[in-house]
Structure 1
Amino acid sequence: MKIDLHAHSTVSDGTEPPADVVRAAADAGLDVVALTDHDSTAGWAPALAAARELGIGLVPGMEISCRSAQGISVHVLSYLHDPAHAGLLEEIGKARDARLTRAERMVELLAEDFPITWADVTAQTAHEATVGRPHIADALVAAGVVADRTEAFTSILTSHSRYYVTHYAPDPARAVELVKQAGGVAVFAHPVASSRGRVVGEEVFQHMIDAGLDGVEVDHRDNPEQGKAWLRQFAADHGLLMTGSSDYHGTGKPNLLGENVTAPAVLDRILEIGTGTPAYLPGSVPGSGAAGH
């Protein structure tokens, strides 16, 4: 059984609508996929409709963009939380608003040196999606400034670039706390992905555990092998779940659905813990008899 618990649609920075992500997952031979758009659950309804049509399992989720006290980016995956939980909604709303203001300022700076406008960026953004750096990257690609998103992020849009602007993001422990209050399951996404930039130290992991962290995403292409070994030992020592996933973004990244997967027993545990919203699991897929169906 193939279970991929991390995928993005046009609701955030993926390139395919939610229903098409689910169809792509079915075409890739997955039995279960999680839709985890950044700071939004707007894709859940169309994804669920597609999952029912295709008979593939769907775990509703979200990826929360956070920042540690040291200024390091941290992402928390939330599964099966209540999408109407007031505290969580307020926090992600603040982050979304700040990210929009930040994107506008970055485009102003970029326009001083490159043929790019705010209209060019919004043209790359799906309806109701919050504009972020990936959409700015897509506008730079469309303008012929860079070849693809990867080149944009490793050059013009890097955090060391003069065009980079910071924005508000919740502390990761606070995000975990809110996910748990909303009945969700909190998993630290790609925790040791050093190729993306600085990674947090063990004290941040501990703060997140104290707040209720349920698991760590171990098998992810951006976690180096040495880091994966450390994560496995750390998870074993602290009783954390270990997940694997693709972090699929359609054509926005080279990541392929199902390139890393999660064990059925881990999915069963996620279904037992999560009480905020149900997963959709047809009878033939793992976990179909567990709580959360």
Structure 2
Amino acid sequence: MKGDLHVHTNVSDSNYSIEETIKMAKENGITHLGVVDHDTTYGLKKAMELGREYGVNIIPGIEISAFDFEENKKIHILGFNFKLEAPNVKKICNEIIKRRHQNSLWQIKQLYEHGYDITPMEVGIKAKDSICIYKQHIMHVLIEKGYTDKIYSDLYTELFKGQGICSRDIRYIDAFDAVKAIKEDQGIVILAHPGQQDSYYLIDRLVDIGLDGIEIYHKDHTEEDHNKIFQYREKYDLILTGGSDYHGIYGSENEIGDITMPSEYIGYFHQR
């Protein structure tokens, strides 16, 4: 068995459809695939149906864009195997989707007013299968217009970071509310890439409200991160996961299955 429990599709911020993503997973020898689009459960039922066609066990999931308001830090929370109707998860995530879309429209307006040849309609075409417009869709148009040659280029940093003209973030969900919502929908809660976001300090408190595990294998994790996470696993008897964090051309160069979860934990995840 080979499980990649961190893959995105064009429902959020990848450029590949659900079917294309599952087909790639099959070709790369993945038996268990965690589909975790940002802040939405849309498409999961379709993914599970297609997974059965291709012989890939689809683990329905979500990656919630959360926040620790005390420390002013972004925290990503993964949820798996919740009830597909997910009323509690949807309730807290729907506002994020609206805020992100409105913020993206504002960013497009900023670019246009500063001389960039870009319109909401052009970006909307790139995002036609997504729940909302993401920065990656905006950058895709800028690439096609010749302003840069890749998504995470110097131009991306100049526009969206620091004092850039598009540098404005949205209000995210409280990390504790995200954990509670997934648990209320009978799901498994995993802390995503704590090494990337320096979120180890939250583990003790999150365990108290239902944290089930930690993502150990991720492209931004080092051997030091692996050792630290394993210590938490020993302390709290946690589940360990891992995955490629695949976003197609909108992400890093790794492919589906390049990073996988420890196989001994696959049994914790079953297809509903």
- Sequence identity (%): 25
Query: Are the aligned partners of 1:11 and 1:126 in contact in 2 as well (CA < 8 Å)?
Result: no
Query: Are the aligned partners of 1:249 and 1:255 in contact in 2 as well (CA < 8 Å)?
Result: no
In structure 2, how many angstroms separate the alpha carbons of the residues matched to 1:30 and 1:241? Answer: 19
Q: Which moved more, 1:38-47 or 1:51-60?
A: 38-47
Q: Which moved more, 1:103-112 or 1:166-175?
A: 103-112
Report the CA distance between 1:131 and its aligned residue: 1.1
Report the CA distance between 1:128 and its aligned residue: 4.7
Query: Are the aligned partners of 1:15 and 1:250 in contact in 2 as well (CA < 8 Å)?
Result: yes
In structure 2, how many angstroms separate the alpha carbons of the residues matched to 1:109 and 1:5? Answer: 36
- Aligned residue for 1:188? 191
Structure 1 residues 241 and 153: alpha-carbon distance in aligned structure 2, compared to 1, 3 A threshold: farther
Please provide the CA RMSD for this pair: 1.8
- Aligned residue for 1:98? 99
Give the match's secondary structure for 1:41: coil
Q: Does 1:9 align with 2:9?
A: yes
Match of 1:227 among 225, 235, 241: 225
Q: TM-score, normalised by structure 1?
A: 0.85
In structure 2, how many angstroms separate the alpha carbons of the residues matched to 1:270 and 1:128? Answer: 26
May I ask how many residue pairs the two structures share in their alignment? 268
Trace 1:233-252 onto structure 2 (pairs within 5 A).
233-252=231-250
Q: Which amino acid aligns with 1:150?
A: Y
Runs of 4+ displaced beyond 6 Å: none
Structure 1 residue runs without a partner (length 5+)? 272-278, 280-291
Q: Which moved more, 1:175-184 or 1:70-79?
A: 70-79
Give the match's secondary structure for 2:7: coil
Q: Does 1:166 align with 2:166?
A: no
Query: Are the aligned partners of 1:193 and 1:222 in contact in 2 as well (CA < 8 Å)?
Result: yes
- Aligned residue for 1:35? 35
- Aligned residue for 1:66? 66
Query: Are the aligned partners of 2:81 and 2:187 in contact in 1 as well (CA < 8 Å)?
Result: yes
Q: Which moved more, 1:213-222 or 1:83-92?
A: 83-92
Query: Are the aligned partners of 1:35 and 1:44 in contact in 2 as well (CA < 8 Å)?
Result: yes
Query: Are the aligned partners of 2:194 and 2:200 in contact in 1 as well (CA < 8 Å)?
Result: no
Query: Are the aligned partners of 1:19 and 1:49 in contact in 2 as well (CA < 8 Å)?
Result: no
Report the CA distance between 1:225 and its aligned residue: 3.0
In structure 2, how many angstroms separate the alpha carbons of the residues matched to 1:140 and 1:211? Answer: 43
In structure 2, how many angstroms separate the alpha carbons of the residues matched to 1:40 and 1:119? Answer: 23
Query: Are the aligned partners of 1:51 and 1:58 in contact in 2 as well (CA < 8 Å)?
Result: yes
- Aligned residue for 1:75? 76
- Aligned residue for 1:263? 262
Structure 1 residues 50 and 85: alpha-carbon distance in aligned structure 2, compared to 1, 3 A threshold: closer
Give the match's secondary structure for 2:241: strand
Give the match's secondary structure for 2:160: coil
Query: Are the aligned partners of 1:137 and 1:157 in contact in 2 as well (CA < 8 Å)?
Result: no
In structure 2, how many angstroms separate the alpha carbons of the residues matched to 1:200 and 1:216? Answer: 11
Structure 2 residue runs without a partner (length 5+)? none
Report the CA distance between 1:160 and its aligned residue: 5.3
Q: TM-score, normalised by structure 2?
A: 0.91
Query: Are the aligned partners of 1:39 and 1:65 in contact in 2 as well (CA < 8 Å)?
Result: yes
Query: Are the aligned partners of 1:105 and 1:165 in contact in 2 as well (CA < 8 Å)?
Result: no
Q: Does 1:111 align with 2:112?
A: yes
In structure 2, how many angstroms separate the alpha carbons of the residues matched to 1:16 and 1:82? Answer: 25
- Aligned residue for 2:52? 52
- Aligned residue for 1:208? 206
In structure 1, how many angstroms separate the alpha carbons of the residues matched to 2:224 and 2:112? Answer: 41
Q: Which amino acid aligns with 1:115?
A: D
Query: Are the aligned partners of 2:36 and 2:60 in contact in 1 as well (CA < 8 Å)?
Result: yes
Report the CA distance between 1:201 and its aligned residue: 5.2
Report the CA distance between 1:116 and its aligned residue: 2.0
In structure 2, how many angstroms separate the alpha carbons of the residues matched to 1:224 and 1:247? Answer: 15
- Aligned residue for 2:133? 131
